[in-house]
Copies of this chain bind each other. A is one copy, B any other.
Amino acid sequence: LETIVTKTGGKRSLIGGERPLTVIGEKINPTGKRRLSEELLAGDFSTVREYAIAQAEAGADILDVNVGVPGIQEERVLPQAVKVIMDAVDLPISIDSANPRAIEAALKVYQGRPIVNSVTGEEKSLEILLPMVKEHDAVLIALTYDEEGPSNDPHKRLAVAQKILERAGELGIGEEDVIVDCLVRPVGVDRDAARLTLETLRLIKQKLGVNTVLGISNVSFGLPDRIWLNSVFLAMAIARGLNCAITDPTAPGIKKTLLAAELLLGHDEFATKWIQYYRKGNVR
């Protein structure tokens, strides 16, 4: 299955098939970032712009945009952020919000075919967001949890993915336009968290064959040396057939892991990109 996301007049990102991993840049997200939070509350988009450019230069294929600061008027700020990013770089966008009205406002200003991040298996999410995704011809990330919360049983996560796919199908949204998020939880909280995510990934690839995504950094929440853990988890997920990663390509460890995986899976002939990155002085 091939998923297509676009920016009008800019980049067209293809996901899936025999392609290497698609990188969705995660940095435009105020969680844990004080400066960005304050700027967003003040209507200042300079860091948003800076992060957009830095991630594009580091090789992101798509940019995630989330402005979820407590107390913010997301319906107003999210579309503004989307416009700033559209001006700054030529990459497609993943509109990331828990607020359906903010998503709708962002869909209205976006030019091209974006990702809506995310639709869950909760009834209210399906009822409100799926028609919106259909109307704007967007792609959706299907987050595998529902009213019962995130399950530790990979088969239950699979069942939620199936439900979202079915409901999307009823509205005429094809399987190629649904990217399943297998759900990453912190391994510091539950020692089986990462193993269960990798098992869910295997199941979903095998049973549904749809494209998949993981928000990598959540796995290391609360632990030291997060980039290394994230890198190893990313490599393991790529080996299991992951199609998209929401991650930070401006972190050298992540960038090197992405380049190494590309090389090891046969997408970097003569190791040209690997050697080039090394020569630029990006040595550990």
What is A's interface to B at a CB cutoff of 8 Å? Answer: 187-188, 191-192, 194-195, 198, 219, 223-225, 227-229, 231-233, 235-240, 253, 256-257, 260-261, 263-271, 274-275, 278, 283-284
Contacts and interface: CB of A to CB of B under 8 A. Distances in A.
A257 B271 contact: no
Contacts of A233: 260, 264
Listed residue (A187, A227, A237, A260) with the most chain B CB atoms within 10 angstroms of its CB: A260
Contacts of A240: 239-240
Which 8 residue pairs of A and B lie closest in terms of their CB atoms, listed nearest first?
A: A236-B239, A235-B235, A232-B260, A239-B239, A194-B264, A224-B278, A195-B266, A232-B235
The quantity of this chain's copies bound in the complex is 2
Given A228-B260, A229-B264, A266-B192, A275 B235 contact: no
20 contacts: A191-B266, A194-B263, A194-B265, A194-B266, A195-B264, A198-B239, A198-B264, A224-B275, A224-B278, A225-B284, A229-B263, A231-B232, A232-B257, A233-B260, A235-B239, A236-B239, A236-B261, A239-B240, A240-B240, A253-B284
